[in-house]
Chains A and B, each alone.
Chain A
């Protein structure tokens, strides 16, 4: 909106602007800082100190205990997330390819139905889905969760790829058809090599969504097949004995670090996914 050339002078309004922005930064960071601090304290430090007090002894005991409790569920989350991300991305890519370059009667209608499906509240499908999983013998398994995440992630992944592929000129596909290439050859040798940006966006978006999911986890799994979000909630909200906030915070960090790390490393793809999803329809 402003040309980069003109540099603003230091004035009262500029200082005020920076001050507000700085306060906002602090407000956004404080919960994370508190989580970290608390996770490295001993229970005594927690009860004597306050949220931002520095630990008298930097203790990893919270982390050790937390990891001991949740590590199985951490691996569950990986077992659920990785396959679900890869499968839903692959199907989304093929769907997007068909919807943008091989349109046929009914494909536009399907896209409309799919788009509408992005909005549905999952509460409306939970019961029937759990019946189906039961019938398929997949109730309370990580595979069952993978299936559910693939099915309900399809709408978004297809949307991502379709919107990306629509901007590829269809003269490219025409040229390839005249060269003799068929459906899959065109996808493999021409479209896919061009898809790196959107693949990144989709992978990161899906990873974040699926890893962070709680609703499907708590409805479709139990006991040993639960993802870490469910385990965290169970840990924090079942009060047997004294609350160990250091363990709670450490467990929360364990649950949150993977997506946080992905965000730090590949944040721009995450943002693109957010804004791509925002500009729907």
Chain B
């Protein structure tokens, strides 16, 4: 197992073309599971190819175990990769597929047979060893692809969207299996996905990418609770975070965000005021699960009354859509809440969980929010 450091890596496909990767800086420790996540075209697969040595980098360095491997060919980097399409050799049996890399490295046949047996047992594919890839189901092919990687015992494992081609149910099963396997084998892994649930559940560290730039690098919890910008905030979390354009006002030394549901108004206290933000239009972010049903007066949280426009019962939740500041806002409520379209609901927010973003750049605005007197200074206007 090994450490991986990606130091200030740049990549362009040609002069005059925009950079595919810009100043990528990441590092993970031995045994860690790194997730690269982002929309298509963000550069995550390119970065993975660069780590593998399948593509050259135009600037920076890639270090495995503190050795600069940037000039080395793929086979010398001791890396194994599992592809989205599995890339099993179609004319070879499963056994031959797994053996291929070992044979090239001139391992003695006895040792090869041992490895194949070990890997087949681990992945429960012993009964498939004589078959050809065309005779396997998608899930079985995926296991064989993993077996091929595991048999090599490489320093680093790369996974390029390995679960994308599986149906939803199988994907959830395999996700758990991958997590178990990582816990057992403690392999240094880089995993590319566009699925943010995989990103949250599988990774020790997550790098969110967009347009060739790392938008944020941190643990899943950091990314979820403390997103660096609007893109990261909207990418992680399903249903996605609500972004409400609000106007800030200063009142008695505090900043307030003004919310208007058409039925009622609310002033959300945001903590200490800063003069430059007074009167500004910014974006307020709040996750659907952070909006709760008002339990009547008493707990001191600010709230607002709004008209239900759409309801979506999903089974485990009830998603309710209202309009605030002329923006559609999604609220995740308990499934047994009784409400219909047209009903008015009391909704409550916790201002401590609310995030603020600059309307133009999407960057996160940091206010030194002092939450102490939130509960005391709630203002609620009666409905019109």
Contacts and interface: CB of A to CB of B under 8 A. Distances in A.
Interface stretch (B84-92, B229-237, B340-348): B84-92
Nearest to A175: B87
B91 A180 contact: no
Contacts of A179: 75, 100-101, 104, 148, 152
B81 A175 contact: yes
Interface residues of A, number: 17
Nearest to B106: A180
A182 to B, nearest CB: 8
A187 to B, nearest CB: 13
Interface string A179-221: 1111001000110011000000000000000000000000000
Q: How large is the interface on B (under 10, 10 to 19, 20 to 34, 35 or more residues)?
A: 20 to 34
Question: Of B52, B85, B87, which is in contact with the most chain A CB atoms at under 10 Å from its CB?
Answer: B87
Contacts of B80: 178
Nearest to B96: A189
Nearest to A172: B87
A171 interface: yes
Given A181-B104, A194-B90, A175 B152 contact: no
B105 A174 contact: no
A176 B89 contact: yes
Contact of A180 (B49, B54, B87, B104): B104
A177 interface: yes
A240 B374 CA distance: 118
Nearest to B82: A175
Given A190-B91, A193-B91, A177 B54 contact: yes
B73 to A, nearest CB: 8
B59 interface: no
Interface in B209-227: none
B83 A181 contact: no
A176 B54 CA distance: 11
Contacts of B79: 178
A106 interface: no
A137 interface: no
B84 A171 contact: yes
A176 B83 contact: no
Interface string A145-186: 000000000000000000000000101101111111110010
B362 interface: no
Contact of B75 (A169, A172, A177, A194): A177
B74 interface: yes
Interface in B59-95: 73-75, 79-81, 83-85, 87, 89-92
Contacts of A172: 87, 89
Contacts of B92: 193
Contacts of B84: 171
A194 B89 CA distance: 9
B75 A180 contact: yes
Nearest to B79: A178
Given A171-B84, A179-B100, A179-B101, A190 B89 contact: yes
A174 B90 CA distance: 14
A122 to B, nearest CB: 38
A263 B148 CA distance: 43
A175 B104 CA distance: 13
Question: Of A172, A179, A189, which is in contact with the most chain B CB atoms at under 10 Å from its CB?
Answer: A179
B81 A178 contact: yes
A171 B74 CA distance: 14
B16 to A, nearest CB: 15
A121 B133 CA distance: 46
B110 to A, nearest CB: 20
Contact of A171 (B75, B87, B100, B105): B87
A174 B81 contact: yes
A248 to B, nearest CB: 49
A73 B299 CA distance: 105
B85 A178 contact: no
A174 B83 contact: yes
A186 B162 CA distance: 23
Interface string A113-154: 000000000000000000000000000000000000000000
A169 B92 CA distance: 16
19 contacts: A171-B85, A172-B89, A174-B83, A174-B87, A175-B81, A175-B89, A175-B148, A176-B89, A177-B54, A179-B100, A179-B101, A180-B75, A180-B101, A180-B104, A181-B104, A182-B75, A190-B89, A190-B91, A194-B90
Interface of A: 169, 171-172, 174-182, 185, 189-190, 193-194
Given A179-B152, A189-B100, 5 more contacts: A174-B81, A176-B100, A177-B54, A178-B79, A193-B92
Would you list the 4 A-B pairs with minimal beta carbon distance, nearest first? Answer: A179-B101, A193-B91, A180-B75, A171-B87
